[in-house]
Structure 1
Amino acid sequence: MAQNVLIIGASGDIGIAIARQRVKKGDQLILHFHSNHSVITELAEEIASEQVLQIIQADLSMEEGINKLLSSLVFQVDSVIFASGKTEFGLFQDVEEKSFTELLTLHVHAPLKITKQLLPSMIRNQFGRLIFITSIWGEVGASNEVLYSTVKGAQNSFVKALAKEVGASNVTVNAVSPGFIDTKMNGSLLTAERSEIYETIPLKRAGFPHEVAEAVSFLLDRQTSFLNSHILPVTGGWMI
């Protein structure tokens, strides 16, 4: 059965892969993006017009952007995938307070506020799927990415807690926790740095966005409706 799926961060590498996967499943999409207008336009042109319900631009690192997204939604949302994000590299002691606010708003405040608005409808309909793209760093932490590790850990805790609260209404809350994925976020790494990371991954390679999308699709499908409060690792066996 087709769903109306809201993809937060649909212009990112993982968001694009998720959109393509859900289109194959016959879903109708609401695509959110921040600034990659050309990318989201190309994605929308690739998808059959009847499967793109709406495209919404909003900066979710700001309260105004969150409110803009929520006020722009005009369709019922059956499932939400939180795939947007950014990181901050460097020593924690050097992180500027502006970055604190941006990352906490984008990764924690925005998803919580969006979820809060959409939950009543899901509960009334006795169906909903909430999926977060978190990170291996949310489980084990990473030096030089302390703030990113912190907000991803908060997402993991939110998933586990909310899943217990709304499960009786047939609303499931899960997460996919990627390891090292070949995305633009990791594009600045040198070849030698990549090789060093690959040596620590049992599969000896990076993961690909479509592999994360397959994990999301697994959690969204009605055949796996008994999965709840689960943090699904997509790491190639990489556990630091």
Structure 2
Amino acid sequence: MSRSVLVTGGNRGIGLAIARAFADAGDDVAITYRTGEPPAGFLAVKCDITDAEQVEQAYKEIEDRQGPVQVLVANAGVTRDQLLMRMSEDDFCSVLDTNLTGTFRVVKRANRGMLRARKGRVVLISSVVGLLGSAGQANYAASKAGLVGFARSLARELGSRNITVNVVAPGIVDTDMTRALDEAQRESIVKQVPLARGGQPEEIAAAVRFLASEEAAYITGAVIPVDGGLGMGH
């Protein structure tokens, strides 16, 4: 049976690959996007997850069109890279407000329907940076590390209601975000990857789909690295 799936930030990169993977499996997929034109084939809802009212309105539209969200993939995120001495308070707070507090907003709202149904799947998209650290990304790393504690707390809180909460931590993946790096930066990162290459968005999507499947019903509170071995041991 098809499920009601929501992927935040599903208009490009990893989010779009995840949305396509669920749609290809026959699920009803909604995506949120903040700017630009959304891709065809999904219920696309414009929503800035830093605004609680926009989150509420997005959920109402999704629920009206495809029913309560049964699978939530919290993928939306931003970067504002800067060395700490040059990082403004706005640079720090705005990244946490989107990546961590924004995730809190969308998960809390999805939780309402999942508790009623006594079933649900939540997958948070973190990053190898949240576990390994990265110079110039203290704000991004803090937000992505925070998702791990958030997910594991919810896994304990919601497990008795048959709601699983897991984290996928990608490494360097071929997206617009990593294409913005110059060639030397990309090569430096890839040299640290045991598999000696960057990942593809579809490889992240495959892990997410597995965690949302019946086969993963006994997995919760897990952090699944999909990083070519870059962050192993963390």
- Contact residue 133 and residue 175 of structure 1 kept, 8 A: yes
Match of 1:58 among 47, 52, 59: 47
Q: Tell me what 1:26 maps to.
A: 26
Look up the equivalent residue of 2:191 and give its one-letter code: E
Structure 1 residues 136, 14: closer, same or farther in 2, change over 3 A? Answer: same
Deviation at 1:66, TM superposition (A): 3.4
Q: Tell me what 1:95 maps to.
A: 87
- Contact residue 66 and residue 110 of structure 1 kept, 8 A: no
Deviations 1:101-149 (A, max 9, x none): 3212211222112222221321221210000110011112211000000
In 2, Cα distance between equivalents of 1:196 and 1:133? 24
Which segments of 5 or more consecutive residues in structure 2 lack a partner in the other structure? none
Q: In the alignment, is residue 124 of structure 1 matched against residue 116 of structure 2?
A: yes
Q: In the alignment, is residue 180 of structure 1 matched against residue 172 of structure 2?
A: yes
Structure 1 residues 194, 31: closer, same or farther in 2, change over 3 A? Answer: same
Q: In the alignment, is residue 146 of structure 1 matched against residue 135 of structure 2?
A: no
- Contact residue 56 and residue 109 of structure 2 kept, 8 A: no
- Contact residue 159 and residue 174 of structure 1 kept, 8 A: yes
Match of 1:111 among 103, 115, 118: 103
Deviation at 1:71, TM superposition (A): 4.6
Look up the equivalent residue of 1:55 and give its one-letter code: A
Deviation at 1:192, TM superposition (A): 2.4
Look up the equivalent residue of 1:188 and give its one-letter code: A
Look up the equivalent residue of 1:26 and give its one-letter code: G
Which segments of 5 or more consecutive residues in structure 1 lack a partner in the other structure? none
Q: In the alignment, is residue 221 of structure 1 matched against residue 210 of structure 2?
A: no
**Over the residues paired in the alignment, what is the CA RMSD in angstroms?**
1.6
SS in 1 for 2:80: coil
Q: In the alignment, is residue 236 of structure 1 matched against residue 228 of structure 2?
A: yes
SS in 2 for 1:200: coil
Structure 1 residues 229, 237: closer, same or farther in 2, change over 3 A? Answer: same
Look up the equivalent residue of 1:99 and give its one-letter code: D
Match of 1:192 among 184, 193, 200: 184
- Contact residue 77 and residue 98 of structure 2 kept, 8 A: yes
- How many residues align? The count is 229
- Contact residue 7 and residue 75 of structure 2 kept, 8 A: yes
In 1, Cα distance between equivalents of 2:118 and 2:55? 25
Q: Could you state the TM-score of these two structures normalised by the residue count of structure 1?
A: 0.90
Q: Tell me what 1:82 maps to.
A: 74
In 2, Cα distance between equivalents of 1:213 and 1:77? 18
Q: Tell me what 1:4 maps to.
A: 4
- Contact residue 120 and residue 163 of structure 2 kept, 8 A: yes
In 1, Cα distance between equivalents of 2:50 and 2:108? 17
Identity %, equivalent residues: 29
